[in-house]
Structure 1
Amino acid sequence: MSDQRATHGVWSWLLKGIVVLACICLGSGAGVGLLYWHMKDEIRAKAQGVFDDALEAVLGEADRYGVVGNYPEGAAPQDKVYVNAAARPVLYAATGAAQGYQSQIKVLVSVEAPAPDVPVESDAAIHAMAVVQSQETPGLGERIKEVEKDVSIWALLAGKKPTAGRPWFQQQFSGVRLWQLGAGAQEPAEGSEAAETRATAPAREVAAITGATVTSTATKRAVRNAAEKIIAKTAEAYGG
């Protein structure tokens, strides 16, 4: 009898523990859900603000940006391809993403085109690139967003302000041809002007961040993803 009581006491204690733990989990989940519901508009507005700033950074200032092609109703702004037709050269932009070392890396990339309403080819050059989302290792992978300081600490203490600049890693992509990143799989015809351009084009290597090879490689994949999105969408919209 005493053994039965002891066993019953153990199971009763375990059951109470399970019930308490379940209540804690349910309460925590409900709290997180309530917090997100309360702040979801603010979160979306902040994310949209980051995207808008990045779009202006890669496409330049304009009264408005055009949208290339058609999209399903309710398509997110980040899923569309944009164009600044007033820029010279004309600029197209799209987002790309790839899995990094410990987070998904999202970028916004603009490429140059000689004229509006024509398909972008793989010989097009990248105009600018901006990282819009990453949570890589601080001091290593997160250096993809690092802006090099152009003043010493003593100058800062003396009141001199640093010049606003672009992250050095992101700047490396400007001028790189899309085919140099592997975007646009189709090879130009032998003897064509495009083939000659490729043969004589200088090598463009995007230097990896020391100690963050995975993050660097993932960023290149994200840029290539964005470039391929631009090539495909402009071909669909304008023929190619």
Structure 2
Amino acid sequence: MSEPPEPPPQETAPRDGHGHLARRLIQLYAGLALYGASSALLVRAGLGLEPWNVLHQGLSELTGLTIGVVSIVVGAAVLLLWIPLRQRPGLGTVSNVFVVGLAMDGTLAYVPEAHGLAVQVPLLLAGIVLNGVATGLYIAASFGPGPRDGLMTGLHRRTGRSIRLMRTAVEVAVVVTGFALGGTIGVGTVLYAVTIGPLAQLFLRTFAVPAAPRGSTVVATGTPQGAILRP
């Protein structure tokens, strides 16, 4: 009696494709969590914040909400502005709204406020470097821009003005408003502005994800080219 024929092999996505997606997801959420944690270190250093967190801190002082909750609310509000700009959010966009704020509040709950430059300066430097690492991880995962990035690129597309101009205009308005509300501006704000670009580019190369193999089912692919380095 002959043996029954073997069933034909089922067509599945290559394992490399699943591994590729898993790596990107890990990078996405590790980057977002680290971004929130590094931002919290800048808050505790007390020497000046990055532009959007100047606004978040000012609104936190005004409303009594935690800075992480304010970050979530502002992120959601900015995301609504994508509608008239006809921007499409990705997984990274929506995740950004919640993960960064939660990670920020979680870190602030465990890291005490720094006193004295001997503690503040190392905390500031650590926050900036880790923020660069986080930016490289998050953007290299290519799951869509953060809400604030999308606002700037959307304005660029709708107005025809350069991304640099749109970013400068938005962030100047954000910093001025945040400072007026009680947000912290200082040497850390300037140092962050000068160093975050080179740091992010360095870590974008470090954490670059190879292209997915043909036939894989990886979704939301894309390259980080043109990213403007703000979740």
Larger % of strand: which?
Answer: 1
TM-score by length of 2: 0.24
Q: Look at both structures and tell me which one has the larger radius of gyration over its CA atoms.
A: 1
TM-score by length of 1: 0.23
- Answer 1 or 2: higher relative contact order, Cα 8 Å, separation at least 6: 2
Larger % of helix: which?
Answer: 2
